[in-house]
Amino acid sequence: MEIRLMKHRIPKILLTFLSGMLTALPIMYPKLFVIGIISFAIPAFIEYTAEGKACRLRSAYLRGLAFFMGFGLIVFSWFTAMYPLEFTGLSKVAAVGVVCAGSLGLSLLQALFWGLMFLVSRLFDKLFCTGKNPLVYSLVFSCLYVVFEWMSTKTWAAVPWGRLAVGQSEFLPMVQIASVTGSYGVSFILVLVGCTLGVCCSEYRKHRSKLTLRPLIPVAVVLVLNIVFGCVRLMTYEVSEESTKVTVAAIQGNVSSHDKWTSDTFEETKENYTKLTHAAVAEGADIVIFPETPVNYNLQGSSGYYVKSFYESLAADADCIIVTGAFTKNDDGISENSIVVFDPDDGQTEDKYVKRHLVPFGEYVPLRDFVSFVFPPLSSITMLESDLAPGTSPTVFETKYGKIAPLICFDSIYETLAIDSIRAGGELLTVSTNDSWFLDSSGVWEHNRHAVLRSIECGRYTVRSANTGVSSIISPTGEIMDILPPLEDGYIVSDVYMIEENTVYVTIGNVFVILCFAGLVPLVLYSHFMKKKQETENDR
């Protein structure tokens, strides 16, 4: 299981591990987007050339495990920036354990699942000889990747932080297809290009014939057409004349998770947000977006009256609509992470949005009894006294300017939550988030890039407000119109439009994922047919 590189031999599993790290680099540094277009050539080359024991299903799974372990270690490297987790009160030893559990544990958890993709690909080759045709092999691999990426959004353990499309978010022509297929279309193209390149290199190495490179032609056409589509959309996109123009602001108070939970912070926070809000309104802001729970008091708790009075007074004095995160309680008295709206004339509106996808170990502890027994510090990092209750449906706030569809923090990495909010009538997306856990690590930037994808998928302007950054205002084509770096207090203001028209993706949803899943059937049947045909010819 070795491959020659220069004068040395490198184990294939190590090379696969390193290629996983390489594939993840654009997610951290999107200016390296070209790497994301070709990086799958390495694992595809290794899988396609596997012989003997390397063809075993177990070997394929281990290589998949290695690839996605390397991938995860880069994607989740920002966990190290959280050390020493002072706001949790954990000892330094316990903090090291929690950071390792986050970085190594989450990477391993993801890799254990994703490794099955390599196994299934090898199984298809064994049963149906999909590896006999380079283009079929690449198509099968690409379809499998899309299906697994979609499955990685399900259950509490699924954290789709490392979507391949995130690494292309600064190459806007590449990701415009997300308005039709979601980010899955971007992933499909990236894997298809890289995989076909790797397989064709393998075939050329074996046969030394330029004819072996022919599968690259249709794949190159797909890549070019996608980029052309993106360029055309960027150049021709226009907001409907019927759309309402409104000036929005995102406030960044720069209050960390640690400071937010100290008793003397509330007055300072009030003063800071009052100052920033009035400054934003002075620049024309009609709607002001606050971060996720800028103060830690529950609106329906003992101190809720003072918090509510502050927001109502600020909205009235500044004469603006305030959209803010806040803790609330449901009918059972369980706390929720919510978004509420304060109107300058009517005070707090009746509706509230409750965060639908809570952060595991941050807002609730999955398998609490088991986790508390195996590794108690992991069940203690949440600052909350008890688990929060998740929301079950989208909420759209109707204002005199238009309909606002809010998301909270972790919600924004799940495309279905954004789509549901738009289908419910949302004309403007807002994301209120904390992100102070990440400090100024790559995590804050990666999280913001997910908002870029949601803007393109939904065809909406997105206003993103973070406690300590990054705060941004994003156009429906993914252009960042204004941005505020992390660990600074301030505000950003921009004109946006309330948009009613839906993108193709909002209309049809994840049909592309279904097509990829269904497309596996004709691909394997074709391979099986060609296998039987070859066997018949050999018997003659």
Mean pLDDT across 325-338: 95
Q: Chain centroid to CA 42: how far?
A: 24
pLDDT, tens digit (0-9, with 9 covering 90-100), for 271-310: 999 999 999 999 999 999 999 999 888 998 778 889 999 9
Mean pLDDT across 30-45: 98
pLDDT of residue 1: 45
Axis-axis angle for helices 183-207, 511-539 (nearest 10): 20
> Do residues 431 and 464 lie in contact, with contact meaning Cβ atoms separated by under 8 Å?
yes
Q: What is the 3-state secondary structure (H, E, C) of 482-527?
A: EEECCCCCEEEEEEEEECCCCCHHHHHCCHHHHHHHHHHHHHHHHH
Alpha helices in 357-510 (DSSP H): 368-374, 415-423, 442-458, 504-508
Cα dist from 210 to 20, 215, 251, whole Å: 29, 11, 58
Beta strands 471-474 and 462-466 are: antiparallel
pLDDT, tens digit (0-9, with 9 covering 90-100), for 126-185: 998 888 899 999 999 999 999 999 999 997 778 999 999 999 999 999 999 999 999 999
Band the pLDDT of 373: cuts 50, 70, 90: confident
pLDDT of residue 139: 98
CA separation for the pair 19, 321 (Å, rounded): 48
> Interior CA angle at 446 toward 441 and 448, to 5°?
110
- What lies within 8 Å, CB to CB, of 284 at 6+ separation is 247, 493
Lowest average pLDDT, out of 76-80, 257-261, 296-300, goes to 257-261
**Strand pairing partners for 496?**
246
Lookup: tokens for 505: 């993706």
Mean pLDDT across 416-431: 99
pLDDT surpasses 80 at 3 = no
Q: What is the 3-state secondary structure (H, E, C) of 332-359?
A: CCCEEEEEEEEECCCEECCCCEECCCCC
List, as one string, the DSSP characters of 34-94: HHHHHTTHHHHHHHHT--GGGGSHHHHHHHHHHHHHHHHHHHTGGGGGGTT-GGGT--HHH
Bigger pLDDT: 258 vs 145? 145
Mean pLDDT across 389-413: 98
Rounded to two decimals, the pTM is 0.94
In the chain, the percentage of residues whose pLDDT exceeds 70 is 95
pLDDT of residue 46: 96
pLDDT, tens digit (0-9, with 9 covering 90-100), for 195-231: 999 999 999 998 888 889 999 999 999 999 999 999 9
> Do residues 403 and 427 lie in contact, with contact meaning Cβ atoms separated by under 8 Å?
yes
The chain-wide mean pLDDT, for the chain, equals 93
pLDDT of residue 423: 99
* Encoded amino acid at 442, one letter: S
* Encoded amino acid at 291, one letter: P
Mean pLDDT across 4-33: 88
pLDDT of residue 95: 80
Alpha helices in 208-339 (DSSP H): 216-236, 257-260, 265-282, 304-318
Lowest average pLDDT, out of 112-121, 296-305, 516-525, goes to 296-305
- Phi and psi for 484 in degrees, rounded to 5? -120, 120
CA separation for the pair 199, 135 (Å, rounded): 8
